[in-house]
Structure 1
Amino acid sequence: MDLPERARTALAERCRRTMEAGPVPAAVLLPLFLRNGTYHLLFTKRTNHLLHHGGEISFPGGALNPEEEPEQGALRETWEEVGIHPTHVEILGLLDDFYSIHHYLVTPLVGLIPGDYPYSVNPDEIERIIEAPVSHFLDPAVLRIEPRQWQGRSFMVRHYDFRGDDIWGLTAAILAQFLEIVFTDELG
């Protein structure tokens, strides 16, 4: 079974955890694509001047508009940030909801995009695109877990290294859940 079908099946067979509304609703897309026979994930490096998460690595996405569903919002934000048209994304499924430390309720969606997509990066929000093979994140050597303090609370935070870029926090937690669901056998 190829990776998109494997992801679709694994996501459909599980009971998705949803969270109570309250914080600002948001959604992100984990864009999955095939290039040169290898599946990759697309990340963005946010520009440094953004209010939240400036300079950090993230998946395309953001806050939902009023009355907007997570799928609509994730696709709209992906279109606005990196120029991937919503009709060019095949949604494979949803991960669990996550609360962010900045009071967002984030719904992550996994979607398949064409491997040779002509991105159009919004320079006001995105510094650059990062394309990383999914297999890279299956290597335990690229993951470290460190304690972090935020508003008087301690957290253990995942950090994935990809060619010197630090993928951490909420993005790393979402990535970890995707890997745990889709690659259960490989991760032990």
Structure 2
Amino acid sequence: MTPAEIAGRLRDPAALALAGPSEADGAWALRPERMIAAAVLVPIVLHPQPTVLLTLRSARLSAHGGQVSFPGGRIEAGETPEAAAVREAAEEVGLDPRLPELLGRLPEHATGTGFRIIPVVGLVPAPLLLTPDAGEVEEPFEVPLSLILDPAAPERRHGEWKGQRREFWVWPHDRHYIWGATAAILVNLARVLRG
């Protein structure tokens, strides 16, 4: 998929309409004023065969430690989701904030842990020169965009959390468990890009 095709799909209302509901079970039942606004950067790295940049969060973090995520975090007062996503990517993995060409947003994702995540998609030129913050990121890594575009790749699984049965997406990876909000956002990215 070319950068122009990626940009075209993310700017096409019909393609964006293909993204499905993106929320954890019961997340929208939380009072909106109690949810924490957050933004993540969904960086598509423009290698000859594009990839998506993800991070393995440091196991020492109190929230979501050891999990796979996109670079991102809370939206500060007066900050747009785009500014927050780019700032957080700079802080977490050392991505030069001038590099991402921001293309648009995917649908918000509400988590059962009280976050309202706004995914911001951007194209990033390769090669990447990253300097991850060891306190936040164990390892940045990339997943081929071709895997994300494969409709047979993600699996729907279920488990129990706080006494309730939950369903969630999981993406195959040889070293990391990609699930939860990150997996759901990848599913929506795939739906939009596949058209």
Secondary structure in structure 2 of the residue aligned to 1:130: strand
- Amino acid across the alignment from 2:143: A
TM-score, normalising length: structure 2? 0.86
Match of 2:10? 11
1:94 and 1:108 in contact (8 A); partners too: yes
* Most deviating of 105-114 and 157-166: 157-166
Q: SS in structure 2 opposite 1:87?
A: coil
Matched, 1:28 2:40: yes
Contact 2:149 2:193 in 1 (8 A): no
Pair 1:171-2:182 in alignment: yes
Q: Which moved more, 1:150-159 or 1:139-148?
A: 139-148
Match 2:62 to one of 51, 57, 60: 51
Deviations 1:67-118 (A, max 9, x none): 2110010000000001112111100111001111221110001101111121
Secondary structure of the equivalent of 1:162? coil
- Quote the Cα distance in structure 1 between the aligned partners of 2:183 and 2:39: 15
SS of 1:32's equivalent in the other structure is strand
Q: Percent of aligned positions with the same letter in both sequences?
A: 32
Structure 1 residues 59 and 130 mapped into 2: Cα distance closer, same or farther (>3 Å)?
Answer: same
Q: 1:39 aligns with which of 50, 59, 65?
A: 50
On the 8 A contact 1:4/1:92 being kept in 2, the answer is no
**CA offsets 1:24-47 (integer angstroms, 9 cap, x no match):** 110001111122x10001000001
* Structure 2 gaps, min length 5: 23-27
Q: Which has the higher contact order (CA 8 A, sep 6+)?
A: 2
Looking at structure 1, the residues matched to 174 and 151 of structure 2 have their Cα atoms a distance apart, in angstroms, of 15
Please tell me the residue identity of whatever aligns with 2:161.
Answer: W
Comparing both structures, which one devotes a greater share of its residues to strand?
1
Tell me how far apart the structure 1 counterparts of residues 175 and 139 of structure 2 sit (CA, whole Å): 14
Q: Deviations over 1:107-144 (max 9, x none)?
A: 00110111112101100000001111111233455422
Question: Unaligned regions of 5+ residues in structure 1, if any?
Answer: none
- When normalised by structure 1's length, the TM-score is 0.89
Q: How does 1:99-138 map to 2 (within 5 A)?
A: 99-138=110-149
**Which is worse superposed, 20-29 or 9-18?**
9-18
- Aligned with 2:56: secondary structure? strand
The alpha-carbon deviation at position 150 of structure 1 amounts to: 2.5
Contact kept in structure 2, 1:76 and 1:86, CA below 8 Å: yes
1:50 counterpart letter in structure 2: L
Letter in 1 for 2:2: L
Taking only aligned residues, the RMSD between alpha carbons, in angstroms, comes to: 2.1
Q: 2:25 corresponds to which residue?
A: none
Instruction: State the AA in 2 paired with 1:119.
Output: L
